[in-house]
């Protein structure tokens, strides 16, 4: 979700949205994260109850949970068809796979770092990261400078643990350059599900399937994967949908 929120800042259209889909053969199954152009973010995993030993670096074994598979980046720009970028996962570590996507699919030299800090009860305390990209025409001196800086700064999770702000992290990487903050965007978790959306989803099932729910189940419960909100539709509600 952190990666999707950051990537959404490149969307220019107000109603545009970006979706990250990761499908792997690991126990977590798959991951979906969606953000609009205002960094309103939502997401879910197919199987959230995954417990694995820490990896060799003493961190959560994200690669082991994800496994092998692929990453889809879907950009809905309000056109007839969305833009879809597809790459195989190179590691299962999300930041590395996002970096690979930018280099392979969009030909943009990129560095991505992501980190999540949890407390003793495994509740997320903070989550953050950075995406650093080179503009066309960047000289070799700039490239070498960034490579050297990136190799020496602590992991993002460590910086978050110390309470570092986004501006402080930027300053650590580019302190010797003339850095200018040109824009800031708030970020929040927001699910835009609604009863009306669920009605449209049910209607796509077709009249026969809806009648089956009426006769066999005497109603239907629609469940939002993102926020876990449930919507109940009675027999009368479903009959109204059938009649249009």
The whole-number average pLDDT for the span 57-81 is 90
116 and 211 together in one domain: no
Give tens-digit pLDDT for 91-121. Answer: 989 999 999 999 999 999 999 999 998 888 8
Which residue range(s) make up the domain with 220? 195-243
pTM: 0.86
**Where is 45: in which H helix or E strand?**
strand 40-45
Asked if residues 92 and 63 have their Cβ atoms less than 8 Å apart, the reply is: yes
pLDDT of residue 4: 97
Do 43 and 155 lie in a common domain? yes
Q: pLDDT band at residue 78, thresholds of 50, 70 and 90?
A: confident
Task: Tell me the pLDDT tens digit for each residue of 177-210.
Answer: 888 898 888 999 999 999 999 999 999 999 999 9
Helix and strand totals (H; E) in the chain: 9, 10
**Whether residue 166 is found in the same domain as residue 217:** no
* CATH assignment at residue 50: 3.55.30.10
Determine the pLDDT at residue 142. Answer: 85
Q: How many residues does the chain have?
A: 244
Can you give the pLDDT at residue 178? 83
Structural domain total, the chain: 2
Same domain flag for 158 and 214: no
38 and 151 both lie in a single domain: yes
Alpha carbon 160 to its chain centroid, in Å, reads: 19
* 99 and 205 housed in the same domain: no
């Amino acid at each position: 979700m952190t990666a999707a929120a950051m990537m959404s800042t490149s969307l220019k259209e107000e109603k545009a949205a970006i979706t990250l889909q990761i499908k792997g053969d690991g126990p977590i199954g798959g991951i979906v994260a969606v953000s609009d152009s205002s960094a309103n973010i939502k997401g879910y995993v197919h199987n959230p109850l995954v417990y694995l030993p820490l990896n060799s670096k003493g961190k959560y074994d994200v690669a082991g949970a994800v496994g092998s598979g692929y990453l889809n980046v879907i950009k809905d720009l309000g056109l007839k068809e969305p833009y879809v970028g597809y790459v195989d996962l190179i590691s299962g570590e999300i930041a590395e796979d996002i970096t690979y996507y930018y280099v392979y699919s969009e030909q943009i030299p990129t560095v991505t770092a992501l980190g999540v800090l949890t407390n003793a009860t495994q509740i997320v305390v903070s989550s953050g990261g950075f995406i650093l990209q080179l503009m066309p025409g960047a000289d070799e001196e700039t490239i070498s400078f960034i490579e050297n800086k990136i190799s020496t700064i602590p992991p993002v999770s460590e910086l978050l643990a110390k309470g570092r702000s986004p501006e402080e992290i930027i300053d650590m990487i580019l302190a010797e350059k003339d850095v200018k903050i040109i824009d800031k965007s708030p970020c929040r978790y927001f699910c835009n599900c609604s009863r009306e959306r669920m009605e449209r989803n049910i209607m796509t099932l077709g009249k026969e399937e809806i009648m089956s729910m009426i006769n066999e189940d005497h109603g239907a419960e629609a469940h939002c994967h993102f926020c876990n909100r449930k919507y109940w539709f009675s027999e009368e509600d479903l009959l109204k949908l059938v009649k249009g």
